[in-house]
Amino acid sequence: MKIFFIDIIRPPYTSYGIEGSMVHKWELINNLAKYGNEIHALSYENIHIQYDNICLHAIPKSKRFIRLTYLTFLLKMMRKYSFDIVYIRTDAGIYASLGYIVTKIFTNRVVYEVNGITFEEQQLVRNELSGRKLKTSENIKIKFRKYKEILMWKRADSIIAVTSYIKKYLIQYQIDEYKINVIENGANTELFKPIDKCVAREQVGLDQKYRYICFVGNLAPWQGLEFLIAAAPLILKEYINTRFLVVGDGVMKEKWMQLAEDLGVLNECIFTGSVPYEIVPTYINAADVCVVPKKPIKSGYSPLKLYEYMACGKPIIATRTDGFELLEEINAGILVNPENPVEFANSTLMLLNNSELMWNMGNSGRKYVIENHSWDGIAKKVMAVCNNLIKNR
């Protein structure tokens, strides 16, 4: 099967955080390629890169007439290769909309991945950073993006939603539910695996005398890291030798560092910034407890970090939001109510005081991810969607 993945791709071995979305894209196409599929994708690099069954095509640079340049480039790609499937992601921006137009010209089969409600996320970012009510012009831009995405959802041949809540959300807009397939995110279970805590701390230069609470990911408004920071003073009252490890970068970093300073815990917080992807498992394994303090959103969650924590065998504290119910179902973590620092702190202290409970939760999570959320398994599900589309076209 020949698949054109219309999005910017590069191996995620450069940074984590702002580049975290690269993890999903790279792991998916890399595992699709392992099964003999020929994958074509876009790259910012100035050279034509060839991997096993993966061909990255450098997009042309243009400061003027950007859309026309990209449109022409995509047209040439479609003429040169006879693609069986065109795979478009909802967060691909200009490439998603232009790719959709070009694909329909050539009547290719379109699989559209909805990995989030981007206009909702965009509004959250602007509200957080501006600190004011959005201008009319800003609201118009968000609404335009909303209706553009709805149109592409309706016209796509098949849709992959990364959460069941996204599927329910799409159905509200009269999207045919029979073409929506729920395929959640995964983890690289060969890279993310348990290693000795002391060894991990030595490798990344962390002091062995501290207990570490770890967050990994893009520092974006919906991550809810302020919930952890607000709980930090309460945790430190009982465990003064606790440190809060924040691995990643993003638009909210300065604001959250300022919050930590205001609460008097900045010295106990370690903001690493972006780190290489292959080092992320070491930071996770250096921790005692990992956290996913997400804010509730309509689309629910299927976050990479959740499965990566579980793959490393770590107990997890997550906010009680759509998509995290499985932590309680499989006894892999504890759910707490958002914006409740006392509950967050008490749950963290309960784990720190019970090493057997932490081990049991970590072991349960590791087993679940291997059986249900390896990228190899995710790729097989995506292949089934593509093959079914080709068969029934």
Domains, in order of start, for the chain: 2-186+374-392 (3.40.50.2000), 197-372 (3.40.50.2000)
Selection from 227, 192, 210 nearest residue 309 by Cα: 192
Chain mean pLDDT for the chain: 85
Our CA angle for 148, 153, 158, nearest 5°, is: 155
Give the predicted TM-score (pTM) of the model: 0.83
State yes or no: pLDDT of 388 exceeds 80: yes
Q: How many CB atoms lie within 10 A of CB 276?
A: 12
Could you give the dihedral angle defined by the CA atoms of residues 367, 371, 176 and 98, in that order, rounded to the nearest 10 degrees?
A: 90
Mean predicted confidence (pLDDT) in 4-13: 77
Looking at residue 132, what is its pLDDT? 56
Taking CA atoms, 259 is separated from 231, 233, 266, 271, 381, in Å, by: 12, 12, 8, 13, 42
In DSSP terms, 212 is beta-bridged to: 243
106 token code pair: 């050539």
Looking at residue 66, what is its pLDDT? 72
Our CA angle for 375, 165, 113, nearest 5°, is: 50
State yes or no: pLDDT of 17 exceeds 50: no
Q: Which of 62-71, 124-133, 202-211 has the highest mean pLDDT?
A: 202-211
**pLDDT grade, residue 65 (50/70/90)?**
low
State yes or no: pLDDT of 18 exceeds 50: no
Give yes or no for a contact between 183 and 385, defined as CB atoms under 8 angstroms apart: yes
Looking at residue 392, what is its pLDDT? 80
State yes or no: pLDDT of 98 exceeds 60: yes
Q: Which residue has the higher pLDDT, 339 or 139?
A: 339
pLDDT in tens, 143-201: 767 777 788 888 888 999 988 888 888 898 888 889 999 998 888 999 999 999 999 99
Looking at residue 128, what is its pLDDT? 55
Taking CA atoms, 348 is separated from 227, 265, 290, in Å, by: 12, 16, 9
Selection from 118, 107, 110 nearest residue 152 by Cα: 110
State yes or no: pLDDT of 96 exceeds 60: yes
Q: Which of 14-23, 119-128, 207-216 has the highest mean pLDDT?
A: 207-216
